[in-house]
Amino acid sequence: MKKSIKKLVSIMVFVVLLGSLAACGKSEAKKSNVPTSTTTETETKKSEKVVIEFWHYWDGNNGKAAEELVKKFNSENNDIEVKPIFIPGAELMTKLQAAISSGTTPAVAAADISSMANLKASGKLLELDNLLKENNVSVENFYPSLLEYGRLNGKLYSLPVSTNNLALFYNKEIFKKAGLDPNTPPKTWKELESFCEKITKKLPGTYGFEFYTQVGDSGEGLTWQLQPYLWQAGADFIKDGKAAFNNPEGEKALTFLTGLINKKLAPVGSWDDFAKGKCAMVVDGSWMVGIWKDSVNFDFGTAMIPVPEIGKNATNMGGEQIFAFSKSDEENKAAVKFITYMVDTKTQIEWDKKTTFMPISNTVAQDKDYLEWVKNTEPRLQPFVEQQQFAHARPSIEAYPAASLAFAKEIEKAYYGKVTVKQALANAEKAVNAELGK
């Protein structure tokens, strides 16, 4: 009996101990597993990067500069990795539209200002206003005309990342031969015409001034070159959804240009005479400074576009806008942080030095370091820098390409003397309004 009791007690003690050990085992398991799991998840989150794609069409020197800026951004932001994707300019919009349709858009992209109307209309761009405020970006710093390409219904969907404009180029050697001061270009329409008369009289076979007179495939070359004269004279191209050039101001601008052709001071139907040394002056883009520096065999100068005696400074602009597509919160924040970096004054100064793009804001245009660089590196860019503040925006509307082509087709007839200036403007007004009304 005593042996049985002892045996029973022994069994009970063993069971109790076994239970205690099991309980301890479970407790230890909980103590060891839970903290380890939590730590792993936290470490994983900390080590994860938000990876976003950046589509652009910059190639050559501009593409190299873009890659360098992206690399710098990535080195300064451990939580974000931007992957730049180069797409040829002729293919970019097609691929963006396909990506929009399939829901496979990049987080960020940069495109020509002419593409912004269609991109905004897609409804897929990220509204930037609030996110820009969170990143302390003041849109008031940018030239107002450049912001027009990013606005839709009072909201902002893109920012300028690069720009350029048109200014006057003149052949200093032709000036000397014609008895003109090679360091004193014309400042007014009247002076420009007077210079042309002296040049053509002194140098038969040489034209004084060249401008684009052909429709071409899109009409935009002719339209883009004529618009500054409309703005200088006080007219416009499109305003409040209608053509705004068939008026005395528009007539003044077109009469000035057709007059140069009629007096044989400017050629019609040809382009590139300036580069060939057959024409003394031309209005062209800031990018041509670098191109002609290495390709023409004569010394040239630059100046702001001459203005009418009663008028104002004006020029046209080109360039790109940077924007984001609406995606996840993390991607959106990363995208806007990258956009903020790309439009920052410090980045823009570095970008403009490497590419010779023009300033997108007064803070860049007035920066002492940047101006010193222009002065010492390529002073012929200075007129473009000064003139950027007077650059106008072409209408950021979907109908613009069709309106531009319709306009050019009618204006070309005036250049060739097939119709009068008044007839050309009236016909162009009708054609443009028809496109705007579609």
> DSSP code of 127?
P
Q: What φ, ψ does residue 132 adopt, rounded to 5°?
A: -70, -40
Angstrom distance (rounded) from CA 229 to CA 272: 20
Question: Which runs of E-coded beta strand occur in 174-325?
Answer: 207-210, 238-239, 242-243, 279-285, 300-303, 315-324
Task: Report the Cα 425 to chain-centroid distance in Å.
Answer: 30
Q: How many CA atoms lie within 13 A of 269 on its CB side?
A: 4
Do 50-163+318-392 and 165-317+395-436 fold alike per CATH? yes
Residue 318 CB contacts under 8 Å (≥ 6 apart), including other chains: 112, 113, 163, 164, 165, 285
Domain limits, the chain: 50-163+318-392, 165-317+395-436
Distances (CA, A) of 169 to 36, 104, 227, 317: 70, 44, 18, 16
- The CATH architecture one would assign to domain 165-317+395-436 is 3-Layer(aba) Sandwich (3.40)
Residue 277 CB contacts under 8 Å (≥ 6 apart), including other chains: 171, 174, 296, 297, 298
In angstroms and rounded to an integer, the radius of gyration of the C-alpha atoms of the chain is 32
Angstrom distance (rounded) from CA 192 to CA 279: 13
Are 387 and 315 a contacting pair, CB within 8 Å?
Answer: yes
Fold of 50-163+318-392: D-Maltodextrin-Binding Protein; domain 2 (3.40.190)
Are 126 and 109 a contacting pair, CB within 8 Å?
Answer: no
Angstrom distance (rounded) from CA 433 to CA 413: 18
The pTM (predicted TM-score) of the whole model is 0.86
Angstrom distance (rounded) from CA 355 to CA 376: 16
Pick out the chain residues at pLDDT < 50: 1-46
Are 196 and 260 a contacting pair, CB within 8 Å?
Answer: yes
Helices 60-76 + 329-343 axis angle, to 10: 120
